[in-house]
């Protein structure tokens, strides 16, 4: 487990032994502000942003944050060598730099944040390998990007957040598969996008918010079953839509 450095525990950089000492002459490095040897991410980033040609020298540094920042600026050929770095933040920085066709090894990384980064960058058609990831946040990222034609495979995911992402993206004609989902919020999202015929089957749902969304999508003629609904908002919407049939003007 990484021990965070406090201000008091951060070692002060020794400018006298720093190989970049000459850069101080024209203020290309400034102790306390722009410094590669400081234990401050902001100072390190300012230095390497100005001197990316030096970043590769810090990819094997003993300080994890210095390696991670160096991975942002070093040549890609050098960054590839850190794919198995001992620190997950460094590997995440590597995942952000590698071309998408080189991310397969990191898709099996032990850190979920690394795998989330991979899931956010892989081409959608290559996300299949992460559909069964053990972490729900990885699978949620997959569900948010997976091609529509493959989303149906995730409608029974064990986590509600993943199924909510599926409900937001699944084509309308396939949303009936979520009509019996155990979570009311998943059903509500699905009902809000369903085809009218599928929405009509949701009008008897036990959750009133689901019935309300279904009432907005179903054909008005199906709403007579809601005229005595225990929730006033559901009853009112059903009544408005049924009345609108005679005036040919649907309520907003």
Q: Is the pLDDT of residue 7 over 50?
A: no
| pLDDT at 35 (0 to 100) | 84
| pLDDT at 252 (0 to 100) | 55
Tell me what the mean pLDDT of segment 158-186 comes to: 98
| pLDDT at 31 (0 to 100) | 75
What whole-number distance in Å separates Cα of residue 99 and Cα of residue 118?
Answer: 10
What whole-number distance in Å separates Cα of residue 195 and Cα of residue 32?
Answer: 61
Q: Is 245 left (phi over 0), alpha (psi -120 to 50) or beta?
A: alpha
CB 91 within 8 A of CB 83: yes
Q: What is the mean pLDDT of the chain?
A: 91
pLDDT digits (tens, 9 = 90+) for 186-210: 999 999 999 999 999 999 999 999 9
Q: Is the pLDDT of residue 25 over 60?
A: no
Nearest to 95 by CA among 126, 133, 122: 122
pLDDT digits (tens, 9 = 90+) for 100-145: 999 999 999 999 999 999 999 999 999 999 999 999 999 999 999 9
pTM for the predicted model, two decimal places: 0.86
Topology of the domain covering 10-98: 1.25.10
Residue 75 is encoded by which pair of tokens?
């040549």
What whole-number distance in Å separates Cα of residue 57 and Cα of residue 217?
Answer: 61
Range with the lowest mean pLDDT among 29-38, 44-53, 76-85? 29-38
| pLDDT at 120 (0 to 100) | 98
For residue 159, the number of C-alpha atoms closer than 13 Å in the C-beta half-sphere is: 15
């Amino acid at each position: 487990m990484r021990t965070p450095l406090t201000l008091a525990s951060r070692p002060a950089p020794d400018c006298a032994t720093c190989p970049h000492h000459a850069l101080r002459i024209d203020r290309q490095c400034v102790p306390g502000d722009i410094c590669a040897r400081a234990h401050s991410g902001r100072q390190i980033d300012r230095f390497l942003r100005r001197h990316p040609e030096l970043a590769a020298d810090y990819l094997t540094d003993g300080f994890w944050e210095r390696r991670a920042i160096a991975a942002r600026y070093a040549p890609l050929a050098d960054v590839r060598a850190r794919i198995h770095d001992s620190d997950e933040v460094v590997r995440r920085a590597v995942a952000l730099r590698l071309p998408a066709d080189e991310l397969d090894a990191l898709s099996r990384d032990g850190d979920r944040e690394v795998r989330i980064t991979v899931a956010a960058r892989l081409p959608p058609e290559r996300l299949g390998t992460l559909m069964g990831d053990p972490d729900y946040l990885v699978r949620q990222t997959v569900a948010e990007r997976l091609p529509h034609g493959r989303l149906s495979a995730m409608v029974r995911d064990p986590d509600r957040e993943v199924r909510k992402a599926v409900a937001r993206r699944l084509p309308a004609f396939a949303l009936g598969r979520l009509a019996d989902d155990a979570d009311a919020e998943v059903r509500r999202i699905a009902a809000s996008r369903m085809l009218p015929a599928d929405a009509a089957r949701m009008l008897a749902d036990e959750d009133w918010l689901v019935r309300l969304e279904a009432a907005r999508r179903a054909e008005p003629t199906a709403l007579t079953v809601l005229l005595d609904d225990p929730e006033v908002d559901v009853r009112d919407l059903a009544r408005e839509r049924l009345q609108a049939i005679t005036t040919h003007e649907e309520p907003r």
